[in-house]
Amino acid sequence: MAPEAGLMRDVARRAALIGGEVVGSGARPTGAGAKGLPGDWVTEIDVASERAISRFLREETPGLPVQGEELGGAAAGLRWVVDPLDGTTNYLHGFWAVGVSVALVEGDTVLAGAVHAPFLGETWHAERARGATWEHDGSTTPCRVSDRPRERAIVSTGFPFRHKERIPRHLGVLEGALRAFEDLRRPGAASLDLAWVACGVFEGFFELGLAPWDVAAGALLVREAGGAVTDWDGLADDLSGNILAGTPEVHRELLRLASSTRTGS
């Protein structure tokens, strides 16, 4: 059964922290296995984190399935959607922009979620229609997207390195974004990109070809912080791997840029 409405956020938050303990306490692996496409890595830490998170979620919400990046699981209905180590390549290289993402999803609707950055000591969590919260530097503050104007916006992205056929469309938006915004960043962990949009570090984020576990919790954070999230065709889909997220003004510009490249997708 699912947790009561007021408890969903806390369960997601505690699950992300449990995964973060595994990620943060493990020695950096000296090697990793490829899951398929070049650059798609998995380590023993990814798997250990997912097992710890899944064990906790099954204890807290008996009978509720878990869909994890590494171990699979139910892909429909009411379920937990888990990315146990977002940014595995970063992790392997000692670049500590990595996250743990846990979301409660019903169908295609994200009900609650949390993102934890174990090496940065920051946690974000949200519940549908109840706002988003940022825990950092010993304080807890509500998440709100930035009010910086579009021309001063810093926008993050991720490159379609696994699917080269998507490069032309991405480059079209990339060039337009470089002209429209102040600057771009590429940290390499979508869950953190979205969390940073939610708390005003970045003003936007765009990427193609992500998975539901990459974006579910982060998309909810952005929405609950006053931002906008759609796919590249403008549909309000928080599980789409083709994601545009940002402040309302920046999101409008990203959608305009994505629409102009549609024939090249």
Amino acid 41: pLDDT = 54
* Mean pLDDT computed over every residue of the chain: 91
Residue 171 has pLDDT above 90, yes or no: yes
| 45-97: pLDDT as tens digits | 999 999 999 999 999 999 999 999 888 787 889 999 999 999 999 999 999 99
pLDDT at 243 over 60: yes
Buried b (16+ CB within 10 A) or exposed e, 67-91: bbbbeeeeeeebbbbbbbbbbbebb
Residue 40 has pLDDT above 70, yes or no: no
27: confidence class by pLDDT, cuts 50, 70, 90:
low
Looking at residue 76, its pLDDT comes to 86
- pLDDT confidence bin for 5, thresholds 50/70/90: low
Domains defined for the chain, CATH in brackets: 5-131 (3.30.540.10), 150-264 (3.40.190.80)
- Please tell me the predicted confidence (pLDDT) of residue 3: 64
Digit-coded pLDDT (tens) for 119-161: 999 999 999 999 999 999 999 999 999 999 999 999 999 998 7
Residue 257's pLDDT is: 98
Q: For 147-151, 169-173, 226-230, 236-240, which range has the lowest pLDDT when averaged over its residues?
A: 236-240
Q: Which pLDDT belongs to residue 161?
A: 76
Per-residue pLDDT at 265: 41
